[in-house]
Structure 1
Amino acid sequence: MAASPLSPALGLPFLSNSAAPAGRTFLCCAFRTGLASRASRVSHEDEALFASVAPRFRRSRCRCRPRPDRPSRRRGMVVMAKGSDYYATLNLRRNATLQEIKTAYRSLARKYHPDMNKSPGAEEKFKEISAAYEVLSDDEKRSLYDRFGEAGLQGDYGGSGVGPQGVDPFEVFDAYFGESNGFFSGRDSGGINFGASNRRQNLDIRYDLSLSFEESVFGGRKEIGIACLETCDSCNGTGAKSTTSINLCTDCGGRGGVMRTQRTPFGVVSQVSTCSKCGGDGKIITENCRKCNGEGRLQKKRSVVVDIPPGVHDGVTMQVRGEGNFDKERGMAGDLYVFVHVAEKSGIRREGLNLYSDVIIDYTKAILGTVVQVETINGYRDLHIPPGTQPGEMLKLPNMGVPNMKKPSVRGDHHFV
């Protein structure tokens, strides 16, 4: 093989077929060390020469045994092992701005955090997201990563070799609580409010409604009186005597939660939990409202009209949205859950949409046939007994049963034995 200007540019020895083993080893290592960065200054002719000899070098065994995840560099293009592309992990372009990186991280962190996502693989995905954000949010680390890939972060290319410093706890908080630019401002910016799920359930009201058998069949409207909690008009729902009685929680900084970060062999793991000092409120009340005793709500009674659908059966739970307790401070209203209890009716039993009753007639009328009056949910009706009716034989009055809740025009039958 003829000499090339490539060899002096890279400091490589003259290559020939007879010296192939030594040349192969040296060139293979050159691509995996800092000499590869000098290859970016060679001409297109040199690239062609590399392309022509590369197959011969790949067939030989390299004695330096490089790490399998170490990237190679060729004219500014970084080739990394599968799964190590931090930009792809955060669904970003390589020229993404810092704000775009932060936005992507917050969105993905909320989606895959182990405390919020219990699906298989969510925890591992969260670790990958945290590792990618840790690098791309740091200008120095990102520069090394863009130039040399993950190997540059380990100091293999003359970089600083600074190890992972962990994800900024405030960035994780922002991912959950939103930007904290003011007192509890993060609560309205898409973040998580600690204890919110329990408080949301506390806004709901349960009411047990008793219905007669006929009311369950035909439905209707019922006015019920419920005891509910409404915002205290004295403190406006804060539970404090005045605004000066509300202080920011010093343990969580008003976020309502605290985060503990620890380093493991698998990366940096962060655990977020409700602040024990403020109970997730993010605030401490020094003097309670005298009217509501610090609760922020007062118990009152009000009437609610509930629509009973035809065909409702015992054990059904009906949800009336927005008729639960109201929290003015958070602008949230709970729901009213009505649990239906249906009384039994003597002589008539229900099975699905059909009704069943027993009819007793004497033997002679059963043989000769007759007409008897039977009780139905629509009042008394005539039931024709054909001649020769046998004991246990079933007769029916069609469309005299229970309406379908979803389609009231469809009714079952009333069967008589």
Structure 2
Amino acid sequence: MNEKDYYAILGVEKDATSDQVRKAFQQKARKLHPDVNKEPDAEERFKEVSEAYAVLSDESKRRRYDAMRSGSPFGGYGAPAGEAQGDPFTGGSPFGWGFPFGAAGYGRRRATRARSYNPRAGADITFNLTLDDETARKGGSRGVTFQRFVVCDVCSGKGSVESAHAETCPTCGGRGRIQVDLTGVFGFGALDVECPECEGSGKVVADPCENCGGSGRVLSASEVVVEIPAGSHDGDVVRVKGMGNAGTNGSSSGDFVCRLGVPSEQLSPRQAFGFQVLGFDAPFIVFGAIAGVIPSMLLYVVALLLLGAFMVVRGGPVGRNARWWRNALTTFLGGAANGALLALVMVSMFSCGSSMGRRALYRSGFVGL
């Protein structure tokens, strides 16, 4: 059993949250790093603190560690208790197995992170704008108010108030990774994990701006005027350069992407389903007619035909304009592509079955006499 008390090493309680564990490690790591602390045992204490963090910041390892200390051989494999494991700064995995910037690049609150220096371009912001027929035909301007990350006005986007340049991370020495020896814990050996201080970049902001937390940007309400071109249609895109999310630590901003919607050109969900069914039915009719087996599939073909027509009519006004019919044709062709293979297989089966039946009747003497 591991005799080390990792909670005591980090100075946290046994029910400490992942955020409290992360903060405790940062404080101790900065004080004990060999480049900063010249005491003889500083390096050994730094490794010990890193080892404690590597175990307590990972939910599964922490449960196994707690189970081993309590003497239960199975306690570490139960359902997790307490809050879900999160990355020290962004909610992902502290070992670099997650996605520290979110699905869209900057979906998480970066202002709460530590002083890692990670210049990343800002993500685009997509906004759906519904237009009436007149505005779509003649064009015009629309003002849109939305929330986005903007450049911090205190540090001018650098993330650092006074220093013009980032510094080498004191925790990992610029590698972006730290070595943690867990040989005596669970037999894992040495782990190469992402440095929680710099988030793997190897650099940190010298004096983090209190307004943005060192990211160089803050969340704010913004306004943009979208110029709608004359003759716009449903699905068209208007892009406003530089009005998306600001990048971190002075990086470039994304764009504001406005997707136009014109209700009179859109199929309702029922109509879209109806045209898909009609398209799905079309290959059965065509292949069945060619093979001469329509009578064998008549019930199936007619049922799909009636269902599709019913959904189209019940879905709202039909045939509003040319664009509506264009969208209907696109949906119909998509349904036909989905049904083509199945129709070919079924028609072949009916055709083969019909041929075998005729041969059997011929051999029995009922046909050809």
Normalising by structure 1, report the TM-score: 0.28
Q: Higher relative contact order by CA 8 Å / sep ≥ 6: 1 or 2?
A: 2
Greater radius of gyration (CA): 1
Which structure has greater strand proportion? 1
